[in-house]
A and B are shown apart, each in its own frame.
Chain A
Amino acid sequence: MNFAILQFPASNCDQDAVHVVRHVLGHSAQMIWHKESSLGEPDAVIVPGGFSYGDYLRTGAIAQFSPVMQALRGYAEAGGLVLGICNGFQILCEAGLLPGALIRNRSLQFRCEQVFLKTISRDSPFTCKVPADKTLKIPVAHGDGCYYADAPTIARMEEKQQILWRYSTEQGEVSGMASPNGSVGNIAGVCNESRNVAGLMPHPERASEAILGSEDGRLLFESMIDWLQRRKPACATP
């Protein structure tokens, strides 16, 4: 598979995503500079973490106007797979490709720690390979990770099973203490209605190798690859 990884000024997890795609998963990865107006023809796009534009004004606010985002919109509308991680999630929300917004952590402090995630819907290209009942250990590192959407939006997302992950305890219990940021309903990651665009605050690319303490994050990438492989013959370009 061929992954495109967007690079904004002050993306800083871009190389981490490339590393995991190339050297852990053995697929190909290409960095796309934000001033490009075309994505090429990737099988999937990752919008990586970081502090695009220094997180000034609002996280992800400025990046949404980069030329590459126009191309990304088209790509997503045509059904292409897009995964936003951390700052990437914030950018996708700001750009309107995902519902909701991410606001300051309730503690008002940055938080970097391992958390556990419960997968809420396994019916998506990002979760299809996650075993039922498995909690995922994946780290977070963010200051603005508190997910917010108004009640009607949340209700609609729940109905359409757009909530993919919630913060939980190791045993899979969704409790307030398990959340590092105070998100509505402990939401850690969501997808759009057509399920081809997803975003999450935790960093699966930092949990893809045993030496870093967890390999659970790999399940997300492996889900995408599996889904693409199954889809590929039917529709060559999404």
Chain B
Amino acid sequence: MTEPRITPELVQKHNLTPEEYEKILGILGREPNYTELGVFSVMWSEHCSYKNTRPLLKTFPTKSPKILVGAGEENAGIIDIGDGLAIAFKIESHNHPSAVEPFQGAATGVGGIIRDIFTMGARPVCAVNSLRFGPITQAPSKSSGVTAEIANNRRLLSGVVGGIAHYGNCFGIPTIGGEVYFDPCYEGNPLVNAFCLGVLRHDQIARGSATGVGNPVFYVGPATGRDGLAGAAFASQDLTDESAQQQRGAVQVGDPFMEKLVCEACLELLATGAVAGMQDMGAAGLTCSTCETAARADTGIEIELDKVPQRGPGMTPYEIMLSESQERMLVIVHKGREEEVKRIFDKWDLPWSEIGTVTDSGRMVVKHGGTVVVDLPARQLADDAPVYHREAREPAYLAGVRAFSLATVPDLTDPREALSRLLAWPSIASKNWVFRQYDHMVRNGSVVCPGSDAAVIRIKHDSVPPVPGQPPQALAQDKLIAVSVDCNATYVYLDPYEGSKIAVAEAARNLACSGAVPLGTTDNLNFGNPHNPEIFHQLAESVRGLSEACRVFRAPVTGGNVSLYNQNPNGAIDPTPTIAMVGQIEREEHITTQWFKEDGDAILLLGAPVDGSDPMLGLGGSAFLKVAHGTKSGTPPRCDLEKEKQLHEALLALIYSGEIKSAHDCSDGGLAVALAECCFSHQKARDTFQLTGASVDLSSVSDLRLDALLFGESQGRVLVSVSALNAVKVIERARILGVAALNLGITGGTALNIRTGTGEWSWDLRELHRLWWNAIAEAMRI
């Protein structure tokens, strides 16, 4: 069979620059062949090499005494949670595949991140996702019919959610939380970021390295097909009609059933001690897993493609090496223990094959039909991708949005309609249409299910992977882990630095509201094309903000994912650095949820009602400006990290003292939306809601525009409820802890009543709740 000749055009088609090709020639001292070129192109793609972002990512805080495996070392970071237990977690994007085929794209995204976690030796125990789509409802001004764009956005939402549900539910992992935003900038380029967390004991950490010269290399999982060919490279270029069309021929289809078997078999196998190293075949499949494992161990690896199970006849070495067929693992086994491995794979009816051995040559050697088709230095391939310090230039649009002044917007006189509209606005409305499709309770650990600020799971002793011949070891106490995922991308668009700080602050605040202290962070940087200096500026400023904030909250970054080239013909998406933060709750009594618990409790606001030093009074980039005035402009709220930290610590101290019955942070939609959510976000069961009214008096907050008072999004604010008898005491304690606290009113009744210096308004809770609860379902029914 003749392979294409290497020409400059072919090099370019592989997304390699002439300089990169020169570098390859330098490393090899000869021309690469076609397969080798393919191998370089995927390994040196942004997706695998982080060539455009590595210098930035180095600035993240990555250390803490609890970190057992740090960022970049392995497939996922690992953090100690006490008593010899640890958690592994990570987030990953599957944006481009989801744009092409939403159901399978999202499903395989979930599959990929689950594999990253059990590859570490951890049992996956929960999943979370962060999603962005174009609008699914028509702007009220143009009400006739539904545009093709909106119909398509709905199709994408329904496909993505269906795919996540299909994969996660079947695998048996609870999807316990997430976020969904809708904005025109994501039209045609939805974001699908999937997070997974697993549990293990310290002595169970598995490594993705090919150690032990002479050790056999096993392949386990379904046969390799032509699906997902060069997916990593696809993810590393702009999404165009042409690139999508190409990818359509090779859509990856997820098989969660297979993944479940592979996971159980791998955990069982790891427990035998027969495994020297293990890595999933994710992006860049067999290529990435072989050269990375060899590079980590400073060994070499040699495989024979004839032994790789193949789905059809006639696959070329190029195709086999670059295929991204799902649910496959590479396992390096201690020599002499092959039989144990085969026995376990056979027990689970898994296809497997011994495909090669670990060598001491430092090279990745691939044979096909008896001849060598790839012979490359593993370490240079894995680690020596070029690194670019791209040019950054402040985006031109920033001057325009900064010039926006509140003076051009008339204040509200009656807020009734605005609140109703905000609650029914899909980005704020309840996401029950989404999470009711996810099994969020399997594994018997979901303590706080979707619907509160952070999700909480308990880790019981049988959550940990097994040790052979030993009953599950008793734990002194179940562990409680909280997870929140956040990013208000509008803020990041309006001010990449400040907005990114807010993303981290909001995640930390959500954890504090649930009673948790941060342990660590994983981030997913979703941006446009980094060759554009304005986009690179967003990226650099964003990373600066994330780093600073993660330092302040002592939530080091343990890993993450970069997804660039998120563009459609209209331009780049809003910069979206999704933050998933994980925290730990010390004791069961500290678990706190966002909804009011009973009538007669006092409602307190912790933090200043408005940030007086913000010229936009918290309205810049707010949901209110978008919904009521149709603008996405202004400077976003400021984020004072030290003040935030003080607030979180004070809130936790109050929770520990047992005074706090509920806690909910003010985010999108401001104080009024947060209040409404406290009143009605508790669902007892299907079609059975607990509605707890509230009467608040804000007239003591004088001299403030009504829209800013009710809907401004100043940071650093949390609504709590406490027993009325304790109100004075709690306010006093909060002040001692350095946090402003204000008694706003009392819970009870069937309405939300708000009084301000300029008037008094009342909303029927059942009506508000109906709008909020059904908004997305109603949009999706059409």
Contact = CB atoms under 8 A, between A and B. Distances in A.
Interface of A: 9-10, 12-13, 15-16, 18-20, 23, 33, 35, 49-51, 53-56, 109-116, 137, 139, 141, 143, 169-170, 177-178, 180, 203, 205-206, 209, 211-212
Given A111-B437, A212-B447, A51 B257 contact: yes
Contact of B441 (A9, A10, A19, A112): A112
Given A19-B444, A141-B439, A211-B458, A110 B257 contact: no
B664 interface: no
B462 A141 contact: no
Contacts of A54: 170, 255-258
Interface stretch (B274-282, B311-319, B386-394, B684-692): B684-692
A49 B169 CA distance: 11
Interface residues of B, number: 37
B293 to A, nearest CB: 28
B442 A9 contact: no
Given A9-B260, A113-B686, A169-B688, 4 more contacts: A12-B170, A16-B442, A23-B460, A206-B441
A203 B446 CA distance: 14
Contacts, number: 114
Nearest to A135: B685
B462 A114 contact: no
B761 interface: no
Nearest to A14: B172
B441 A137 contact: no
Nearest to B161: A109
Chain A interface helix/strand/loop/mixed: mixed
Contacts of A137: 684-685
Contacts of A49: 442
A13 to B, nearest CB: 6
B686 A9 contact: no
Interface in B156-184: 162, 165, 169-172
A206 B687 contact: no
30 contacts: A9-B261, A9-B348, A10-B172, A13-B172, A13-B442, A15-B444, A23-B462, A50-B172, A51-B172, A51-B257, A54-B256, A54-B257, A54-B258, A110-B436, A110-B439, A111-B436, A112-B169, A112-B439, A112-B440, A113-B683, A116-B688, A141-B439, A141-B442, A177-B687, A178-B686, A178-B687, A206-B442, A209-B444, A211-B458, A212-B447
B686 A16 contact: no
Contact of B685 (A20, A56, A115): A115
B170 A51 contact: yes
A154 B437 CA distance: 29
Contacts of A12: 170-172, 260, 442-443
Interface string B670-703: 0000000000000111111000000000000000
B349 interface: yes
Contacts of B171: 12
Interface in B416-458: 435-444, 446-447, 458
Nearest to B349: A9
A89 to B, nearest CB: 16
B168 to A, nearest CB: 10
B444 A53 contact: no
Contacts of A114: 683-686
A56 B170 CA distance: 10
Per CB-CB distance, the 6 closest pairs between chain A and chain B, nearest first, are: A12-B172, A54-B257, A114-B685, A51-B170, A141-B439, A16-B444
A22 to B, nearest CB: 8
B169 A51 contact: yes
Contacts of A9: 257, 260-261, 348-349
Nearest to A143: B169
A109 B436 CA distance: 9
A180 B255 CA distance: 26
A12 B261 CA distance: 11
A165 to B, nearest CB: 15
B588 interface: yes
A51 B256 contact: yes
